[in-house]
Structure 1
Amino acid sequence: MNDYMAGRQDGLQLALTIVEKNGVDGLRDEIEFRNATKIHTLLDRKSLEIATRKIKEMTMDTFTILCVATLRDEFDFGTKRCQRFIDRMNLKAECLMDDIVGWQDFIDNIDEEMGIKLRIRRND
């Protein structure tokens, strides 16, 4: 029961902070965001976006290292081809971040053109 009460108190404190910074409309936006994303945290939306951006950047960095190592070791890619790969992958990542394309667009295109079935495992 103590954990439940502490959680309620933390939620009220977060709501007060949001209202003080962004007004009641800011609180409504926060509630809509949390309902849409099903994210329940003590961080407000802006803090959550900052935290997730850092996670996304780290994920891209580690994924890029893995890809370049594989392209070099298994397919004999040199510096120029690896750099072309990195540049093109970064462009596609920017398109995702800017909502120009979505993951499903890539998945469908790869399936259609190459017959390779890919999927994203969800943590629902």
Structure 2
Amino acid sequence: MSKQDYIMQGRNEGIAFCDKIAKEKGLEELQRVTRQRNLAGLRTLIDPRELDQDFRDATLQILDTVLIMSLIVLKDEFDFGTKRLDRFKKRFNDKTECLETGNVTWIDMIEQVREENNIKLDLRKNDVVMAWRKK
């Protein structure tokens, strides 16, 4: 398929997607989905109903990569063995579950580290995602 054909196919799929939303849920819903996609920077055909699951999946994948990096650092820099690495992994997963269930927030954890260890941490903000979540 040529580049022009690929572009045309994407446009046709986009029009069909918009038509479906407008017919099923009305023009207001189509406008809401358009605003949501623009704020989140979405350029692909993602069903809005699947968007929350996609964000959750991405968050869990990021946490998995942080866990892997943490285990490597603890092993290489601090000579953690299998038992200590496994203990860390279990505790990390417990804290992750607390975040998922809403029992604790990132701000709670940042404040705890600052109060107990006098270490300043910042949570970087993605303005596009944060703006989308405010809508």
Q: Is the pair's TM-score, using the shorter chain for normalization, greater than 0.5?
A: yes
Question: Could you tell me which residue of structure 2 aligns to residue 123 of structure 1?
Answer: 126
Question: Could you tell me which residue of structure 2 aligns to residue 110 of structure 1?
Answer: 113
Structure possessing the higher relative contact order (Cα contacts under 8 Å, 6 or more residues apart): 2
Greater shift in the superposed pair: 77-86 or 52-61:
52-61
SS at match of 2:122: coil
Q: Distance in 1 between matches of 2:107 and 2:20?
A: 35
Percentage of identical aligned residues: 37
2:48 is equivalent to residue 45 of structure 1: yes
1:36-56 per-residue CA deviation (whole Å, 9 max, x = no partner) reads xx5364534321122222222
| TM-score (normalised: structure 2) | 0.64
1:43-95 per-residue CA deviation (whole Å, 9 max, x = no partner) reads 34321122222222221221111100100111111111111111111111111
How many residues are aligned here? 110
RMSD between superposed Cα atoms in Å: 3.1
Q: Distance in 2 between matches of 1:90 and 1:115?
A: 24
Q: Distance in 2 between matches of 1:120 and 1:10?
A: 39
Structure 1 residue ranges without an equivalent (≥5): 1-5
Structure 2 residue ranges without an equivalent (≥5): 1-10, 128-135
Question: Could you tell me which residue of structure 1 aligns to residue 5 of structure 2?
Answer: none
| TM-score (normalised: structure 1) | 0.69
Pair 1:67–1:14, CA change in 2 (3 A): farther
